[in-house]
Amino acid sequence: RPSIIFDNVVFGYEPERTILHGLTFEVPAGSHVAIVGPSGAGKSTIARLLFRFYDPQKGRILIDGQDISRVAQQSLRSHIGIVPQDSVLFNDTIGYNIAYGREDASVEDIERASRAASIMPFIERLLDGFETEVGERGLKLSGGEKQRVAIARTLVKDPPILLLDEATSALDSRTEQDILRTLHKVSEHRTTLAIAHRLSTIADADRILVLDHGRLAETGTHRELLRKG
Ligand code: ADP
Ligand code: ADP
């Protein structure tokens, strides 16, 4: 399982306006790290740099010790599974949406794909209680069900790194907690970086980084941060 390191990363979209001011942090291999902070702090920017939509002006980003400025975007995408806030589903069956890229994917196809990734029990859990069959179209799904499908779609690819970008922020808190419990089990030994603006979302993280105006304001466990107020 790879680690992620941001080493003194300086970045701005425009020359006169620095967004990340020499940001340094590590997500140790197999650990769960969460970044929280107010809107505009630079959280999504971190996600974009990880995928090399942009490169930093200074500093380095390392995945498993390798400087990603020498890694093709395509390869990063196959390495990092992202669950965004508003997942867009194909106008097709749930099965197709999970095993996407394949015509009329059946339950067996999904099982095959996810058995290879040894995550079938988690997929079953994610889809547990679905009113809609996997063979049906996914249009009528609730927000929570849609996110479960999106998570399953990401997990069948068995990405060594999981990037949760406000993955549950749009859901009501009960649905959110429910999905988070499953997610936590699924991603147990997977290097995970979660981006969120609510502390409750990421209570399980091994370490929380509080980002403010592109700088780390605090780091600690959920308990430590609550104690500090
Ligand atoms: P967060 O995800 O924490 O809400 P962002 O990373 O989206 O923050 O944004 C950080 C800062 O970068 C904000 O001030 C935002 O306005 C600015 N920003 C984001 N995207 C762009 C862009 N494409 N061009 C210029 N500025 C941007
Ligand atoms: P934004 O903050 O602009 O809404 P997202 O939070 O959806 O963007 O995603 C963060 C970054 O990851 C964006 O630059 C986006 O283009 C990229 N991204 C989103 N979904 C995927 C995906 N499935 N594969 C690769 N990159 C993605």
pLDDT tens digits, residue range 17-57? Answer: 999 999 999 999 999 999 999 999 999 999 999 999 999 99
At 40, list the tokens. Answer: 């505009």
Q: Which pLDDT band, with edges at 50, 70 and 90, does 8 fall under?
A: very high
3-state helix, strand, coil in the chain (%, to 5): 35, 25, 40
Ligand 1 mean position, distance from CA 39 (Å): 9
Please state the atom number of ligand 1 nearest to the C-alpha of residue 197: 3
Residue 144 exposure: Cα atoms within 13 Å on the Cβ side: 18
Ligand 1 mean position, distance from CA 45 (Å): 6
**pTM of the predicted protein model:** 0.81
Strand-pair partners of 26:
5
Residue nearest atom 5 of ligand 1, based on CA coordinates? 42
pLDDT number for residue 219: 93
Q: Which pLDDT band, with edges at 50, 70 and 90, does 103 fall under?
A: very low
pLDDT tens digits, residue range 64-78? Answer: 999 999 999 888 988
pLDDT number for residue 17: 95
What 140-143 contacts at long range (C-beta under 8 Å, 24+ apart), as own/partner pairs, is 141/89, 141/94, 143/170, 143/171, 143/175
